A = this chain, B = another copy of it.
Amino acid sequence: MDVFIEPIGKLINEFSKLPGVGKKTAQRYAYRIVSMTDGEVQTFAEAVLDAKRRVRFCKVCGNFTVAGEELCAICRTRDKSTICVVKEPRDVVALEKLHTYTGVYHVLHGVIDPMNGVTPNKIAIKELLARVQEGGVKEVIMATNPDVEGEATAMYIANLLKPLGIVVTRLAHGIPIGSELEYTDEVTLERALVERKAL
């Protein structure tokens, strides 16, 4: 006999599909659902379905937008002369939390990674080129992650954009604020040394 009754077993299985959720955590989540009121569970399930039903990608930048709004709120209202290029929508969230960036974004939905079959045409590079070629763009900030694929993607795109006379910049790499030199990894430390700045 199974240790879980069927509807709970199924729910545990579904929760296990979420990132970083193992059987034990999924079990805790399932029990919480069962102990919620009917109304609370209804609201929960509706939010899940609604997020899938009502979330679209912005036709310009590729970030999330609400169904019915072709352009996201950022593309509708912000300075279009600066485009910040990121890998995923979650990177937009990280930058937006600063409340200091006033430009727009371009979400690539991936980075170039030939080992895993992600060639440049599989991510939104040509859409970025089209935006730039429409004119009015002064600077493109490459904000892909500082890993091998992120760096390669940034270089690849920079090489495409520079001939168009666009200023292409990259987020600074270096020692994180508040950390200690002693515990900074060698690659970061070397990068910080090479890219040292005049005081």
Contact = CB atoms under 8 A, between A and B. Distances in A.
Interface residues of A, number: 54
A164 interface: no
A40 to B, nearest CB: 8
A59 interface: no
B55 A7 contact: yes
Contacts of A19: 28-29, 32
B32 A65 contact: no
A6 to B, nearest CB: 6
Interface of A: 1, 3-8, 10-11, 13-14, 17-20, 25, 27-34, 36, 38, 40-55, 64-66, 72-74, 77, 89-90, 93, 96-97
